[in-house]
Structure formats: structure tokens, C-alpha cells
Amino acid sequence: MNFEVTILGNSSASPTSSRHPAAQSLKIHNNHILIDCGEGTQMQLSRYKIKRADITQIYISHIHGDHMMGLPGLLLSMNLARRESSIEIFCPQELVEVLELYFKYSETNFSYKINYHLLNEYTSEIIFENDDYTVKSFPVFHRVPTWGFIFQEKRKYRKINQEACKKFNIPFEAYTSIKMGNDFTDENGLIIKNIDLTFDSIAPLSYAYCTDTLFHENVIKAVTGVDLLYHEATFLHDRLERAINMMHSTAKQAGIVAARAMVKMLLIGHFSSRYEALDELLAEAKSEFDNVELADEGKCVNLNFI
């Protein structure tokens, strides 16, 4: 059951030659999702061998350019490639208006359907659900309406008890059926109960994406207990005043959120272009929470192994 995040961009509003604006690729089981789509995302997808054709959903946190200016180009490239399957975009209402005006003037006839799902500014709610995962949005605290997202997988399958299966000589071909909760009947008609061949599933994994926000108690509440938290860390804490003015967080604050929300692992990103090296940002977050890593571009974190 694959559940992994690949970082495509870790820059804040002003990108550098080596750091791109916000974008992440998320794979949950066989679902391919894009979270934010800053300028250059389609090139980053290509660089990290992620097929844009596979993407079925795009979640946009807010309308600031570094989180969505790659979206029109990506949608146009999907069109040039004659995409047929529809795409679901979860985003603010204003973004729809801008996109639709632009597509009108660029005289684009889409080969596929774009379904917009508007985010609700005031409540935390389930905005998508299928057999594999649910997505919950929650408001964060930035200069324009901005949302965080929690992606939580559904564990459909029980965990195979390898030792028991070996003991009962269960053939490998039967594992899928057993994982799905079925008993096993051998060639002599003997029934072996599922409970004797499997363990309960582990708790479903969850990922919280939380960018462009002030440090805030409500954010801590919203992300409490997730396995992996991505939290913005635009500045070092010596620029707290600037962070507050711009409605961003510091690396230290990201660490505090992770610690208080009792997550398993923290990824920090959305770094200001003023920092050429990022080690100080990492050290500052680590002073508050141990298991933290930089959201280096190209980094892939598999939630099954944290």
C-alpha cells in the first residue's frame, strides 16, 4: 500500500535558480495527486519522472502565485497531449475565475473536463473520499483565504501473518483474497479461518500539508496525530516579526507545531530566498522536534517507513 510524497518545490514566493515554488506529488495506493502547483511544476514533474497524465486530482492551498502559477501551463500541456480523462481541482473560487478568463482569451478548447471543487473558507470538512483515502481541508491563517489538507488512507486489507500462512502451506496466489478478509479452503475442503492467517491492519497513515500560515493553536489541533506533517518554515526565528507581518511561520514554530501535534515526522519547506544554505533552518526546527527533515526538491518520503 504505497503512500509517498515527492517534493517538487520548496521555495517561498521568490524562487531561486535552484529552488522552485511550492508543489508536491502525492501517491496514495494507485492515486496520483498534486498539491499546489507553483510556476515550473510541469518541468519539475518531468525532471522527477512523474507522468502528468497519471494525475487525477489537484489541491491548491491559496491563490498566491507561488502556489498556483504553474497550473494553467500544466492544464494546457495536458490538453496538448490530448488528455481524455477529467481532472478534479480543489481550489478557491477566485482561482476558477482567473483560470476561466484566461482560457477564454487564449481560446483553449479542452479535450478533457476540468471539475472544480470550491473550498469553504470557514470550516474544516471532508472534501473528497474514495475507497483508498479521504481528504480533509482546514483553514489556516494567511493574508488571503488559505487551506491546509489532510490526506488519510483507508486500510482495506488485513495484514498477512507470514508464519501462520507458511505453517498452513497457503499458496502465494491466495494472499490477496486472504488480505481482503476471506477464509482459506484447501484442496481437501478444510477451512482455515481468516483470523488464524492475518493480523489486524495497522492504523491508516495520514499526511498533513500545511503551508503559508501564522503559528496558530487551531493548526496544531487540526494536524494532531498525523504521521507526516509538512509545515512551512519561511524564516528563522530571529525574523519572527517579519514572519508575523507576512503571516508566515518560522522554523522554530514549525518544530513546536510538530511536537505539540505529536506527529511522527516533520518536513519543513517554503524557504525564503534570503537563505542560501538551509542547515540553520533545520537545526532550529530540530531544537523543538527531533524527527525533522528539509523538504529537499526530489526527496521522496514513504509514510510506511517513518
CB-nearer residue toward a copy of itself: 198 or 272? 272
In the set 36, 66, 212, 227, the catalytic residue is 66
Q: Is 107 in the site for a copy of itself (CB under 8 A)?
A: yes
Residue 274 in contact with a copy of itself, rule: CB under 8 A: no
Neighbours of 98 (CB within 10 A): 14
Task: Round to whole Å and give the CA distance between 252 and 255.
Answer: 5
The reply to whether 101 sits near a copy of itself by the rule CB under 8 A is yes
Give the shortest CB-196-to-a copy of itself separation in angstroms.
51
Q: In this structure, what DSSP letter does residue 204 have?
A: P
244: helix, strand or coil? helix
Among 10, 42, 234, 250, contact with a copy of itself (rule: CB under 8 A): 42
Q: Please tell me whether residue 13 binds a copy of itself under the rule CB under 8 A.
A: yes
**By CB under 8 A, which span of 15-23, 168-176, 204-212, 253-261 interacts with a copy of itself?**
15-23
**Between 279-286 and 251-260, two packed helices, what is the crossing angle to 10 degrees?**
30
Residue whose cell numbers read 481560446: 107
Selection from 153, 225, 233, 168 nearest residue 198 by Cα: 168
Active site residue 279: no
Q: Which one, 19 or 237, has the nearer CB to a copy of itself?
A: 19
Q: Residue 261, Cα to own-chain centre: how many angstroms?
A: 17
What does residue 126 show for φ and ψ, rounded to 5 degrees?
Answer: -70, 120
Q: Is 129 one of the binding residues for a copy of itself (CB under 8 A)? A: no
Q: Does 106 bind a copy of itself (CB under 8 A)?
A: yes
Q: How far is CA 21 from CA 195, 297, 305, in A?
A: 48, 10, 27
What phi and psi values does residue 23 have, to the nearest 5 degrees?
-170, 140
Task: Calculate Rg over the CA atoms of the chain.
Answer: 21
Q: CB nearer to a copy of itself: give 174 or 214.
A: 214
- Choosing from 27, 98, 110, 118, the residue that interacts with a copy of itself (CB under 8 A) is 98
Nearest distance from C-beta of residue 273 to a copy of itself, angstroms: 9
Residues 6+ apart with CB under 8 A from 95: 60, 63, 68, 71
Binding to a copy of itself by residue 16, rule CB under 8 A? yes
- How long is the chain? 306
Binding track, positions 67-96, relative to a copy of itself; x by CB under 8 A: --xx-xx--xx--xx------------xx-
Binding site for a copy of itself (CB under 8 A): 13-17, 20-21, 39-40, 42-44, 46-47, 63-66, 69-70, 72-73, 76-77, 80-81, 94-95, 97-98, 101-102, 105-107, 143-144
Q: Which residues carry out catalysis?
A: 66
